[in-house]
Amino acid sequence: MDETRSKRGHRSVTVVTDAESRKLLFLAEGRGKEALEAFAKEMKEHNADPGQIEAICMDMSPSSISGAREFFPKAERIFDPFPLMQMAGGAVDQVRKEFGRQGLLPKGSLWTLRGNEWTRSEEQKGLRSSLCAADPRLGRAIGLREALQEILSQEDPQELRWWFRWADRSRLAPFRRLSKTIKEHLGGIISSLLRRNTNGTIEAINGLIQLAKRMARGFRSFRYLRIAAFLKAGKLQLDLPALPTCNREEAWWGGLGFRRAGSVARSFHAGSGSPRVWTSPPFPVRCMDLTDPPDYCTQKV
């Protein structure tokens, strides 16, 4: 489960998907405990038992954890590791700001110290190395961030305990707070590394929902947003009547009343003194029943 914005401001909706089928299951207004309560109620209305849920991959907000513990007591709580790297990047920024307030950082060092080293230019890499060598605390902060990233990519839970010891004795307050946060949610983080479950699929579905919202220029009510979301990401099997199939060229040249000579076609429009000449259709045509000529055509082939 994850959240995405429905309107401007802090108006969010909670998105619930199936990790195996990657299908949108539920969409509710609000977030956290309130949304999980609505999902559990919806399951009961469809003769499903909330106890059937084996695991929930979610964020580390206290409201979501409380709702999962109350309404899905048998489900294993899994925390997506991606927010950990966001928090680690924020911890590096806090250390960088301390040096910036002291006037110890040159101009242009913001994006030099942010992000991964392999995404920086050669000039930024050189400045980054010199800044880390000039002050050990800054180098220690970047080293802690990169070590955490490596541990999460290798999916090795044992290395996390080594990282805790380094962060606790680093004498960097932001990373000591980050270490405490990870320890409080260690069970869900280890479950994520072992199960290899992330919110990557649901982030893609959130992108489809946001695309539908932009195509509609926004929705006045949540009901229409939910309909569009299920049409885009619900993988619904809709039994709709199909249009008759035919040859596209025949539908264009024959059905629309054009006179064709070789590769050039002429059409006579009412009210015009001269024919209009096209060498190809000016726009895509849908196959339809075109037995009668259009109103603007004065001569049928």
Residue 24 has pLDDT above 50, yes or no: yes
For residue 255, pLDDT beyond 80: no
User: Which one is predicted more confidently, 68 or 121?
Assistant: 68
Instruction: Tell me which H or E stretch contains 120.
Output: none
Across 198-282, the runs of DSSP E, i.e. the strands, are 259-261, 264-267, 276-278
Contact between 301 and 254 under an 8 Å Cβ cutoff? The reply is: yes
DSSP letter, residue 51: G
- DSSP letter assigned to residue 300: -
Helices (H), 29-121: 33-45, 62-71, 82-101, 110-113
Q: Is the pLDDT of residue 185 over 70?
A: yes
Give how far Cα 216 sits from Cα of 9, 29, 219, 220, 228, Å.
18, 19, 7, 10, 9
98-152: per-residue pLDDT in tens?
877 777 677 767 777 777 777 777 877 787 787 877 778 888 888 899 888 888 8
* Confidence band, pLDDT 50/70/90 cuts, at residue 10: low
For residue 175, what pLDDT is reported? 92
Tell whether the model's pLDDT for residue 248 goes beyond 70: no
**Tell me, what's the pLDDT at 265?**
40
Q: What is the pLDDT of residues 30-60, one digit of tens each?
A: 888 888 888 888 888 888 888 888 888 888 8
Q: Name the DSSP class of 297.
A: B
Contact between 228 and 216 (Cβ < 8 Å): yes
Both tokens of 170, joined, read 């680093």
Q: Is the pLDDT of residue 268 over 50?
A: no
Tell me which amino acid residue 191 is: S
Percent of the chain whose predicted confidence (pLDDT) is above 70: 78
Q: Is the predicted pLDDT of residue 289 greater than 60, yes or no?
A: no
Name which of 117-126, 190-199, 205-214, 280-289 the model is least confident about: 280-289
The pTM assigned to this predicted structure is 0.63
The residue among 257, 250, 253, 298 whose CA lies nearest residue 274 is: 298
Burial readout 265-295 (b: 16 or more C-beta within 10 A, e: otherwise): bebbeeeeeeeeeeeeeeeeeeeeebeeeee
Q: State the amino acid at position 62 in one-letter form.
A: P
Q: Which residues contact 130 (CB under 8 A, 6 or more apart)?
A: none
| Domain 2-79+198-233 architecture | 2-Layer Sandwich (3.30)
> Which residues have a Cβ under 8 Å from the Cβ of 267 and sit 6 or more positions away?
256, 257, 258, 259, 275, 276, 278, 297
- Nearest Cα to 81, choosing from 30, 150, 19? 150
Q: What is the mean pLDDT of the chain?
A: 75
Domain boundaries, the chain: 2-79+198-233, 82-182, 245-301
